[in-house]
């Protein structure tokens, strides 16, 4: 029997790029799924900001798990959770966090190395894989490496170190490799050719089209914080207009295409 985890793995098989919008709560995820998203991810930054925390291991794990559970409750598509670096380097604690995220309904995770020792991150991936196997879930572990994002190296050295880490994480049990920041076609094609697992990149201004990314060998494109900043930017613009003259025209203009959310959740 095909499971929802199986469905999520299959979405990375190509030839099309999996276009993965990043939500931060049940309402945003429901709207994304209803718009046609084949899967929904969370954004660690958006979830943290929505809860009043900075991004970067500051949001309580319980809040992350609660967010995942609320999303899984209202969508039928696969849900993957951005859990940063697991919020700990202690392996038993990490295992408990992964159990909780899986229990909340996630069939995938984003799992970043940041500035950590890549050998430590590989051990953490091994722990995540073993924990998921014990739970009976073929968890899609999207191992993110921040060589480019954190400027740990430049140019050819960055490419070489990214590919080294990708191989290390693949051996540890990762299902995919996420390399945020690069948008140059040459870099993306060389990454796709050098990474043995499905390659995920981050949507940014200047990124090639989904069709072009597919031709380059990319398998997944995440929206990152784009939906959150668009939604809250519209809210801020509408609020400024409302506070200026008491009118609600701007709010109405931004919200005119929203469905009846009471009916959606009822």
Compute the half-sphere exposure of residue 205: CA atoms within 13 Å on the CB side of its CA.
0
Question: Which of the four pLDDT bands, split at 50, 70 and 90, describes residue 247?
Answer: confident
Question: Which of the four pLDDT bands, split at 50, 70 and 90, describes residue 1?
Answer: confident
Query: Which parts of the chain fold into alpha helices (H)?
Result: 4-10, 26-34, 44-50, 61-74, 91-104, 118-135, 155-172, 185-194, 210-216, 226-245, 249-255, 261-265
CA dihedral 8, 10, 12, 15 (to 10 degrees): -140
Tens of pLDDT along 50-108? 999 999 999 999 999 999 999 999 999 999 999 999 999 999 999 999 999 999 999 99
Cβ-contact 166, 177 below 8 angstroms: yes
pLDDT of residue 237: 95
* Prediction pTM value: 0.96
Average pLDDT, the chain: 97
Whether the per-residue pLDDT at 156 is higher than 80: the answer is yes
Give the contacts of 140 (CB within 8 A, at least 6 positions apart): 5, 8, 9, 12, 80, 107, 108, 109, 175, 176
Question: Which of the four pLDDT bands, split at 50, 70 and 90, describes residue 28?
Answer: very high
Question: Which of the four pLDDT bands, split at 50, 70 and 90, describes residue 2?
Answer: confident
């Amino acid at each position: 029997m095909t499971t929802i985890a199986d469905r999520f793995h299959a979405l990375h098989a190509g030839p099309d790029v999996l276009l993965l919008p990043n939500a931060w709560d049940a309402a945003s995820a429901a709207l994304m799924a209803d718009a046609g998203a084949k899967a929904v991810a969370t954004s660690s930054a958006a979830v943290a900001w929505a809860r009043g925390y900075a991004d970067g291991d500051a949001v309580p794990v319980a809040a992350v798990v609660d967010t995942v559970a609320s999303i899984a409750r209202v969508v039928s598509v696969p849900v993957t959770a951005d859990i940063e670096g697991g919020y700990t380097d202690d392996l038993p604690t990490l295992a408990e966090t992964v159990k909780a995220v899986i229990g909340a309904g996630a069939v995938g995770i984003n799992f970043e190395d940041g500035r950590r020792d890549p050998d430590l991150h590989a051990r953490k991936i091994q722990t995540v894989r073993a924990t998921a196997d014990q739970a009976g879930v073929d968890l899609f572990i999207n191992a993110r490496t921040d060589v480019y994002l954190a400027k740990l190296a430049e140019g050819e050295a960055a490419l070489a170190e990214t590919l080294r880490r990708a191989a290390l994480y693949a051996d540890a049990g990762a299902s995919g490799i996420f390399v945020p920041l690069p948008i140059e076609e040459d870099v993306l094609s060389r990454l796709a050719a050098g990474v043995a697992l499905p390659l995920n990149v981050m949507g940014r201004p200047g990124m090639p089209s989904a069709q072009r990314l597919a031709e380059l060998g990319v398998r997944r494109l995440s929206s990152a914080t784009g939906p959150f900043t668009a939604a809250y930017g519209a809210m801020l613009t509408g609020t400024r207009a409302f506070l200026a003259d008491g009118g609600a025209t701007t709010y109405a203009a931004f919200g005119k295409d929203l469905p009846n959310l009471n009916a959606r959740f009822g």
